[in-house]
Chains A and B, each alone.
Chain A
Amino acid sequence: MSGNILEIRGLNKHFGPTHANRNISFSVKKGEVHGLIGENGSGKSTLLSQIAGLYPRDSGEMLVDGEPYDPSSPIDANEHGISMVMQELGVVGNLPAGVNVFLGRTKQFSRFGIINLRKMRKEAEAQFEKWDLDAPPLGDMPDGMMIESRKMIELARALSVDPKLLLLDEVTQSLSLNNREKLYALIRRFREMGRSVIVITHDIEEMVEITDSITVLRDGEVIGTVRSADTTPDEIRMMMVGREMSGHYYRSDTAPKYGERVVLDVDGICVPGELEDISFQVHEGEILGFCGLSDSGIHSVGTAVYGLTKASAGSVRLAGDGTGIASPTEALKSNVGYVPKDRDNEALMIHASIRDNFCLPSLTEIRGPVGFLSPSKLKSLSSDMVERLSVKCTGIGQPMDALSGGNKQKVNLGRWLAKDLKLLILDCPTRGVDVGVKAYIYQLMNEAKEKGIAMILISDELTEVLGMADRLMVMKDGRITKTILRGNDFTEQAVIGVMI
C-alpha cells in the first residue's frame, strides 16, 4: 500500500462551457497537511467538493488508501473517512446546534423511531471536548448565532465522523484569533495522529506556516506543488497570478494621516451582553481599526453604529449637523455605508442580478421625481461600476450567486463607493477573497481615504488592521481596552498582549 491517503490522477470537471478542473493530479500523504491555493475561480472548491462527494467528476481517477474512490454523496465520503467543512454551506438555523452536528446521521440516536435528543446533545458536547473546540450553546438555534459559532458547528460536524482526511475550505477566515489558534492546534494534532488535512485559505502567510506542502491552481489547472518549508509567500503569489507580485499591499507609511474634522461621534453606547460603554470618534479620511478575540464585541460595534443593533444607552451621532443614527434607514440617509462580515446572508441579494445589487444603496439618488427608476440610469450605474471594479461577469443581468467570492465582494464594497459617503463601516472586508482582490480592496480603501471618507475597519486578521488603520481600538469582553496610534507600537506583539 502506498504512503498516500489520497491520490488524484487526471481529474476533469466541467460546468457547462466552464472547464473548472483540468487534468488535475496531486497526492496527499498520510499525516500530511496539504494546502490548495489559487485565485478566486481557480477551481479549488470544485476540486474539494468532488473529493467530498458533492459533485461527480467528469473523468479521471481518485484513490483513497490505494483503493479506487468514487463517492456518490457526502455520506458516502464520510464512510470512507473523508469529511469537509465547506466555505458557504452553513447550518440549519431552525434546528438546535447539537442536532446540526449529527444532521443526516440521526438514526444512530434513534430507538423504536424516537430520537434521544439528550444523548445526541451529549455526544455533540463530547465532540467539541474531544477536539478542544469552544462549543456554542448546543440547545440553541444557530439562527441567532454569530458566523464564527456557526462555523464551529460545521467543524464539529465534520469531525464527528472521525475522519482520516479532513477538508477545510476557507474556515480560518471566519474565525477570530483564539479560535484560529485552536484550529491550528487541531491540524497539528491530526498530523501527529497520522491523519491528513487539505486546507484552502487565501492567507498565504498562514498557509505557508501551517501546511507541509502546497499545490497551486490557476484557471483550473495545477501549476505546481511545493514544499512549504522551501518556499516563500512571494513565490506562491507569483505562481498563483503568473507574474511577479509584491506582498506589500498594505500602507507603507508608519504615521497616522487623517483630517482634524470629526465625522462620527460615538458616546458611551451599551448593548446588553455585547458592548459596554463604547466611546470613540472617527475623523475625516481616517481608518479606525477594531480588533479583539471572538467574545470581544468588535463585530457588534459595526452593527451598533449602523443602527442594526439597538443600543440601550449612549448615542451615535454624525458630527457637524449632529444627526443621530438609530437605524439603518437613518444611516443610509446620512451617507453611512456598512459592509457586513457574512457577505452572502447579510449583505447581498444573492439571487438578484449584479445590477440590482449595485443600485440598491443608491436608489434615492437614481430615482426620478415621482419615484420612477430609469432603466438607463440603473444600467449606467451598474455598468460603470462593473468596469471600474473589473468585476468578472457575463453582464449586469447575471445573478450574484454565479460570481466567485472575490467578485461578489467587489460588488458588495463597490456599491457603497458609488455613493457620496461620509463614513464606511467595513467588517472583515477581505474575508474569502484571493490575494489579487485583497490588494484591490486595499487600493479602494486608500482611494476612499484620500477622498476624505472616514472608515471603521473591523477585522479578525490582525495584519490587516495593523496594515491599514491609522488608529487601532483593541477590545476585550465588550470594552475598549486600549487605543494605539499608528507608529512604533503598531506591532502584533503589542496588540496581542492587550487582546488576551
Chain B
Amino acid sequence: MRTDSQSRNRQRNRWLFPLVFAAAIIAVLVIFNIISGGLFLEWSNLKVIISHLIYPCFIAWGFCFLFACGYTDMSIGGVVVLGSFATCALGNAIGVPGVVIGGLAVGLILIFINFLIFTYTKIPSWIAGISLAMIYEAVAVFLKLGRSTKPLVTASLASEYRVLGQLPWSIVLLAVGLVVIYFLYNRSTIGLNIRALGGNRDVAEKLGINVNRTLLAVGLITGLLIGIACFLQQSYAGQTTVKTGLTSINMIFQPLAIYLLAQIIQKRINIIICVPICAFILYAVFNILTVLGVPSGTLQEAFLGFFIVIFGVIGQRRAKGVVK
C-alpha cells in the first residue's frame, strides 16, 4: 500500500498541474497574439471565441454524463436539429419563453426516449443511436416541408428573440451551468451512482444502486443539457440547417472534441471544469487558424485532429498506468 508521505506528495502535486496548465495556456495565448499581430487578444476577438463556445460546452457536459455511465448516443446531433427547429417555431410564435420551452422540451423528451430504448431494449447504444439519428433527421425535414424528399432545409429564429445566445446572457448561463453541473456530477448521489455504473456495473448493482432508475436519470440530465444547447445554438447562430443522411452527426463533432480534450486531463483537473477550458482552447485554435488565413473546413479539422493527438501525448505524459 502507498505510504502517507506518498499520499501527501500527491496532494501537493494536485495543485501543481493546474498552475502549470494555466501558465501554459496564457503563454500560448500570448504567442497567438504575437503571431496575429495583436489581433488575437483584442476584446472583440475574444468575445467571438467566448460566444462560440457556450452551446458546445453544454453538449460536452451532456457527454460527460452519457459516457460516465458507459453509453454512446450518436443521435444527439439529430436531437439538437429538432430542438433548434422547435426553438424557432415556438420562439417566433411567442418570443423568448418559446425559445427556451421549445429547446428544453424537445431535448428532454427525445433524450429520455433514447434512454428508455437503451435501457429496456438492450440494443447497443451506438447502434440504436445511429438509427434514432436517421429518424430524427427525417422527422426534422418532414416537419419543415411536410414531406421528406428535399435533402436540405433551414430554420431561422428572428433576431429579437436571440438574446440568450448573446453576451452577457450566454456567459451567465455558462457560469450557472458550470456550478450546477459540477455539484450534480461530483457531489450528488445521482452523480456518484452514474459514475459507479460506468466504473463497475456489477458492483453498483450489488451495492443497491437501481441501475434502470439511474440510467433514466442520465437520460433526464443529458436531455436537459442538450435542450439548453438547442436553444443556445439557435439563439447564437440564428439558424439551423439539416440534411438527411446522418449529417446531424457533424453537429456533435466539436463538442466531442472538447469532451475528448477534457477527458485527457481529467486525472489532473475535474472534467466538468475542464470542459469550458478545453472549449476555449479549441476555439482559440480555430480562431488563430482563421486569423492566419487557413481555410475553414477540412484543413482546420485536420489541424484539430493533430492538436488533439499532441494534447493527448502531453496530457498523458507521466500518467502512470495500473500496476498491481
19 example contacts (A-B, Cβ-Cβ < 8 A) are as follows A74-B208, A90-B202, A90-B203, A91-B200, A92-B199, A92-B203, A94-B195, A104-B207, A105-B208, A113-B183, A115-B192, A137-B2, A137-B6, A140-B7, A140-B10, A143-B322, A152-B1, A300-B323, A308-B323
For the complex, is A483 an interface residue (Cβ under 8 Å from B)? no
Q: Helix, strand, loop or mixed for chain B's interface?
A: helix
Q: Which residue of B lies closest to A144 (CB)?
A: B322
- With A103-B207, A134-B1 as contacts: A92 and B7 at CB distance below 8 Å: no
Contact with A along B174-190 (1 / 0, CB 8 A): 00000000010011110
Smallest distance from the beta carbon of A34 to chain B beta carbons, Å?
23
Smallest distance from the beta carbon of B14 to chain A beta carbons, Å?
9
A136 near B2 (CB under 8 angstroms)? yes
Q: Which residue of A lies closest to B68 (CB)?
A: A94
Partner of B323, one of A134, A149, A295, A309: A309
Residues of B within 8 A of A211 (CB): none
B189 near A110 (CB under 8 angstroms)? yes
A106 near B204 (CB under 8 angstroms)? no
A107 near B195 (CB under 8 angstroms)? no
Partner of B189, one of A75, A106, A140: A106
Smallest distance from the beta carbon of B309 to chain A beta carbons, Å?
22
Residues of B within 8 A of A17 (CB): none
Determine the distance from Cα of A207 to Cα of B1 in the docked complex, in whole angstroms.
Answer: 26
Instruction: State which size class the interface on B falls in.
Output: 20 to 34
Smallest distance from the beta carbon of B63 to chain A beta carbons, Å?
16
Determine the distance from Cα of A137 to Cα of B183 in the docked complex, in whole angstroms.
Answer: 23
Partner of A346, one of B187, B207, B209, B324: B324
Known: A152-B1, A294-B1. 6 other contacts (CB 8 A): A91-B203, A105-B208, A106-B192, A110-B189, A114-B188, A295-B3
Smallest distance from the beta carbon of B244 to chain A beta carbons, Å?
37
Contact with B along A116-139 (1 / 0, CB 8 A): 010000000000000000101101
For the complex, is B256 an interface residue (Cβ under 8 Å from A)? no
Partner of B324, one of A74, A75, A147: A147
For the complex, is B320 an interface residue (Cβ under 8 Å from A)? yes
A137 near B10 (CB under 8 angstroms)? yes
Residues of B within 8 A of A144 (CB): 320-323
A92 near B187 (CB under 8 angstroms)? no
Residues of A within 8 A of B204 (CB): 92, 103-104
A148 near B1 (CB under 8 angstroms)? yes
Residues of B within 8 A of A75 (CB): 207-208
Residues of A within 8 A of B323 (CB): 144, 274, 300, 303, 308-309
Partner of A145, one of B187, B195, B324: B324
B189 near A107 (CB under 8 angstroms)? yes
For the complex, is A373 an interface residue (Cβ under 8 Å from B)? no
Partner of A94, one of B3, B199, B209: B199
Determine the distance from Cα of A91 to Cα of B206 in the docked complex, in whole angstroms.
Answer: 11
B1 near A74 (CB under 8 angstroms)? no
Instruction: Tell me the residues in window 189-218 of chain B with beta carbons closer than 8 Å to chain A beta carbons.
Output: 189, 192, 195-196, 198-200, 202-204, 206-209
**Chain A CB within 10 Å, residue with most, of B204, B206, B324:** B324
Residues of A within 8 A of B183 (CB): 113-114
For the complex, is A273 an interface residue (Cβ under 8 Å from B)? yes
Q: Which residue of B lies closest to A152 (CB)?
A: B1
Determine the distance from Cα of A308 to Cα of B321 in the docked complex, in whole angstroms.
Answer: 10
For the complex, is A89 an interface residue (Cβ under 8 Å from B)? yes
Determine the distance from Cα of A145 to Cα of B320 in the docked complex, in whole angstroms.
Answer: 11
For the complex, is A95 an interface residue (Cβ under 8 Å from B)? yes
Smallest distance from the beta carbon of A147 to chain B beta carbons, Å?
6
A92 near B324 (CB under 8 angstroms)? no
**Count, chain A residues at interface, CB 8 A:** 49
Contact with B along A26-69 (1 / 0, CB 8 A): 00000000000000000000000000001000000000000000
Smallest distance from the beta carbon of B196 to chain A beta carbons, Å?
5
Chain B residues near A (Cβ < 8 Å): 1-3, 6-7, 10-11, 183, 186-189, 192, 195-196, 198-200, 202-204, 206-209, 320-324
Determine the distance from Cα of A182 to Cα of B223 in the docked complex, in whole angstroms.
Answer: 49
Residues of A within 8 A of B189 (CB): 106-107, 110, 113, 115
Residues of B within 8 A of A95 (CB): 192, 195-196, 199
Instruction: Tell me the residues in window 260-300 of chain A with beta carbons closer than 8 Å to chain B beta carbons.
Output: 273-274, 294-295, 299-300
For the complex, is A352 an interface residue (Cβ under 8 Å from B)? no
Determine the distance from Cα of A144 to Cα of B207 in the docked complex, in whole angstroms.
Answer: 22
Determine the distance from Cα of A342 to Cα of B7 in the docked complex, in whole angstroms.
Answer: 24
For the complex, is A25 an interface residue (Cβ under 8 Å from B)? no
For the complex, is A353 an interface residue (Cβ under 8 Å from B)? no
Determine the distance from Cα of A103 to Cα of B207 in the docked complex, in whole angstroms.
Answer: 7
For the complex, is A99 an interface residue (Cβ under 8 Å from B)? yes
B187 near A342 (CB under 8 angstroms)? no
Residues of A within 8 A of B324 (CB): 145-147, 299, 303, 340-342, 346
Residues of B within 8 A of A74 (CB): 206-208
A92 near B196 (CB under 8 angstroms)? yes
Instruction: Tell me the residues in window 340-360 of chain A with beta carbons closer than 8 Å to chain B beta carbons.
Output: 340-342, 346
For the complex, is A247 an interface residue (Cβ under 8 Å from B)? no
Determine the distance from Cα of A103 to Cα of B323 in the docked complex, in whole angstroms.
Answer: 24
Residues of B within 8 A of A148 (CB): 1
